[in-house]
Amino acid sequence: MSANLIDGKAVAKRVEDEVAASIAQLGYQPSLVAVRVGNDPASEIYVRSKAKKADELGLRGHQAIFPEEMSERDLLAEIDRLNADREVDGILVQLPLPKHIEARKVIDAIDPAKDVDGFHPYNVGLLHLGRPTLAPCTPAGCIRLIESTGVPISGAHAVVLGRSDIVGKPMAAMLLQRHATVTICHSRTRDLAAVTRQADILVAAIGKPILVTAEMVKPGAVVIDVGMNRVDASFAETIAHDADKSRLLAKNGSVLLGDVDFARVREVAGWITPVPGGVGPMTIAMLMKNTVTAAIARRRA
C-alpha cells in the first residue's frame, strides 16, 4: 500500500484563491507589515516572500527593515507606531530577533487585533478557550491539510509531536477544538512509538530529521510533517533507502528532510505530506488569510 499524497501547494492555492476573492469584494486593500531586524539570510527570504505574496493576492505588503544594532526600546516604539497607524491591518515580527532584544516583549507589544501570526498572549488565550481569534499560521495550515483528506477529525485520536508555542501547543488546541482526542508528546515522553502507533492523525513538529519511522505509524493514519531539517552528506547512509532524497543530496551537497521518514512511512500511512511541498506552502497562505480576517474585524469594530 502507498499513502495518498497531501498536496500542500494545491491546498495553499485554494486558500490563496479564497483570500484574493474576499479582497476583491472588500473595496479596500488590507495591508500587512513584515518587520525584520538585522540581516539573517533566512529571515530576509521569509520576509520578502511574505510581502511578495501579499502583493500578488491584492493586499498591500510592506517590509519594515531595521539594522541589527537597533535597540529594544526603538523597536517597541516602531511597534507602537504601527499599532497606531490606521492604514496597517496586520503586523508580523520575523523571528528570531537579535539576542539583545527580548522577542516576548516585542510580541506582547503588538496590538492583538493586528497580530496576524497569532502569537500574542491574548490571542493564544482565545485559541485555548476555543473562541474565534487569529490562530498561528502553521498549525492552522495543518488543519486545512487534514481537512483536505476528508478524514474526520472529530473522535479521532490525534497525536502531536512537539509542544512549541508556535506549532505543537496551538496545533493541539485546534485539534481539541475540532473534537479530536489529543495527546501531546515531547522530549520527555516515554516510549514515543507506543503513543504514536495509536494515532489516527499524527502531526510531527519536532525538528529532528526522519525521527518518525514506519514502525511508529498506525496503518492508514493521516501523517502531517511540519519538520524542516536541512542535512548534509553525513546523512547519506541514513537516507540511502530513499532514492529521491539521496539523489538530491548527491547533486546539491545538502537536502531538506522532514521529521518523518517519508519513503518508508508512505508505505504504511493512509495520507502523508511531503517535505517540501506539504506544510511549508500553507504557512504563508494562512498568514494572508489572517491579514484579511484582521482587516475585516478591525474595520468593523
Contact 80, 88 (CB under 8 A): no
**Closer to ligand NAP by Cβ: residue 127 or 206:** 206
Contact 127, 121 (CB under 8 A): no
168 binds ligand NAP (CB under 6 A): yes
50 binds ligand NAP (CB under 6 A): no
**CB-based contacts of 297-301 (< 8 A; 24+ apart in sequence):** 297/113, 298/89, 298/113, 298/114, 299/28, 299/89, 301/113
192 binds ligand NAP (CB under 6 A): yes
151 binds ligand NAP (CB under 6 A): no
Question: In the complex, what is the shortest distance from the CB of residue 8 to ligand NAP, in angstroms, rounded to a whole number?
Answer: 9
Q: Which three cell numbers stand for residue 198?
A: 495509536
Question: In the complex, what is the shortest distance from the CB of residue 16 to ligand NAP, in angstroms, rounded to a whole number?
Answer: 15
Question: In the complex, what is the shortest distance from the CB of residue 298 to ligand NAP, in angstroms, rounded to a whole number?
Answer: 25
Question: In the complex, what is the shortest distance from the CB of residue 90 to ligand NAP, in angstroms, rounded to a whole number?
Answer: 17
148 binds ligand NAP (CB under 6 A): no
Residue 25, helix vs strand vs coil = helix
38 binds ligand NAP (CB under 6 A): no
* Surface-to-core class of residue 264, CB atoms within 10 Å of its CB (0-12 exposed, 13-18 middle, 19+ buried): middle
Q: Which three cell numbers stand for residue 286?
A: 494562512
For the stretch 115-130, what's the b/e string if a residue is b when 16 or more beta carbons lie within 10 angstroms of its beta carbon? bbbbbbeebbebbbee
Dihedral angle of Cα 77, 72, 166, 94, to the nearest 10 degrees? 70
DSSP codes of every residue in 122-153 = HHHHHHHHT------HHHHHHHHHHHHHT---
Question: In the complex, what is the shortest distance from the CB of residue 24 to ligand NAP, in angstroms, rounded to a whole number?
Answer: 27
Q: How far apart are CA 289 and CA 295, in angstroms?
A: 10
186 binds ligand NAP (CB under 6 A): yes
227 binds ligand NAP (CB under 6 A): yes
106 binds ligand NAP (CB under 6 A): no
**Closer to ligand NAP by Cβ: residue 78 or 259:** 259
189 binds ligand NAP (CB under 6 A): yes
199 binds ligand NAP (CB under 6 A): no
136 binds ligand NAP (CB under 6 A): no
Which range binds ligand NAP by CB under 6 A, 14-22, 148-156, 204-212, 285-293? 204-212
Q: Residues 205 to 224: which contact ligand NAP by CB under 6 A?
A: 205-208, 211
Site string for ligand NAP, 268-297 (x = CB under 6 A): -----------xx--x--------------
64 binds ligand NAP (CB under 6 A): no
Query: Which among 186, 204, 192 has a CA at the least distance from the CA of 279?
Result: 204
Binder to ligand NAP among 11, 161, 174, 210 (CB under 6 A)? 161
180 binds ligand NAP (CB under 6 A): no
Alpha helices in the chain (DSSP H): 8-26, 41-57, 72-84, 103-109, 121-129, 137-149, 168-177, 192-196, 243-252, 262-265, 280-300
Applying CB under 6 A, the residues found at the interface with ligand NAP are: 138, 161-164, 166-168, 185-189, 192, 205-208, 211, 226-229, 279-280, 283
